[in-house]
Amino acid sequence: MTNSTPHLIAFAGSLRADSYNKLLVNNAADLARANGAEVTVIDLKEYPLPIFDEDLEKELDSPELTQLRKLFSSANGLLIASPEYNGSFSSVLKNTLDWLSRPAQDQSYSPAYGQFTVGLMATSPGGLGGIRGLSHIRELMSNLGSLVVPNQIAVGASYEAFDDKGKLANGAMSDRLEALVKQVIQYSAVK
Ligand SMILES: Cc1cc2nc3c(=O)[nH]c(=O)nc-3n(C[C@H](O)[C@H](O)[C@H](O)COP(=O)(O)O)c2cc1C
């Protein structure tokens, strides 16, 4: 790794053990590493946070939140795959992003969104692949000062989109995912 190597955090907005979005973001992470990025894949299931509450934040002592804050402070990009729930992105993703948008009470953490370049992706069993949720994440991340790259991908028919090793079965879709992660790497170099 060099100083110019982008460090990306990759995660899915799903807690499900057999999540297709976890598979998708793992594909993205592999492609990003192959294109020179350092990537840390995290599973939000390992970072359980209560529903955000301004009263609770004054007293919450959460090692998971401390760890997430450290990780996010060290990153300059995010790869996010979110399920589409009722036409938007998942509540666990929103909750995690909300917690990380707040400074730590002891000033040990300031929200790091302004330093992020973000790549968005989704997969769902339906034909649209969860694309409706992506416009909502794009708006949220842009509001927080992140640079969301123009490319994005939504993979339909998730139940047949991955092979038995969890790789995207469709080579053209994998190429589109690679173009997306390359854009994240390129844009993060100039942000
Ligand atoms: C509450 C809920 C709402 C959903 N709404 C949508 C939807 O609007 N569009 C869609 O394509 N799929 C929808 N689904 C199906 C999810 O896309 C599907 O469960 C998907 O596999 C979840 O992602 P995961 O495999 O990464 O956990 C919904 C599922 C749940 C549980």
Domains of the chain: 7-190 (3.40.50.360)
10 CA distance to ligand 1 middle (Å): 20
Please, are residues 177 and 149 in contact by the beta-carbon 8 Å criterion?
A: no
| Mean pLDDT to the nearest integer, 68-97 | 97
First to last CA, the chain: 19
pTM strictly above 0.95: yes
Q: Residue 163 has which token pair?
A: 């092979």
CA distances from 16 to 12, 20, 99, 166 (A): 10, 9, 21, 15
Cβ-Cβ contacts under 8 Å for 82 (sequence gap 6 or more) = 12, 13, 14, 21, 89, 90, 93, 120, 122, 130, 133, 134, 137
Q: Measuring CA to CA, which residue among 145, 148, 95, 140 is closest to residue 120?
A: 148
Dihedrals phi, psi of 123, to nearest 5 degrees: -145, 145
Find out whether the beta carbon of 19 lies less than 6 Å from any atom of ligand 1: yes
Confidence of residue 3 (pLDDT cuts 50, 70, 90): low
Question: Looking at the predicted structure, is the pLDDT value of residue 46 above 80?
Answer: yes
* Euclidean distance between CA atoms 140 and 120, whole angstroms: 12
Residue scoring higher pLDDT (190 or 89): 89
| 125 ligand 1 Cβ < 6 A | yes
Mean pLDDT of the chain: 96
| The pLDDT value given to residue 104 | 92
What would the pLDDT profile of 9-36 be if each residue is shown by its tens digit? 999 999 999 999 999 999 999 999 999 9
Instruction: For a ligand 1 pocket test, name from 21, 124, 155 the mutation site with the most ligand atoms within 8 angstroms of its C-beta.
Output: 124
Distance 11 CA to ligand 1 centre (A): 17
Span from the CA of 85 to the centroid of ligand 1 (angstroms) = 5
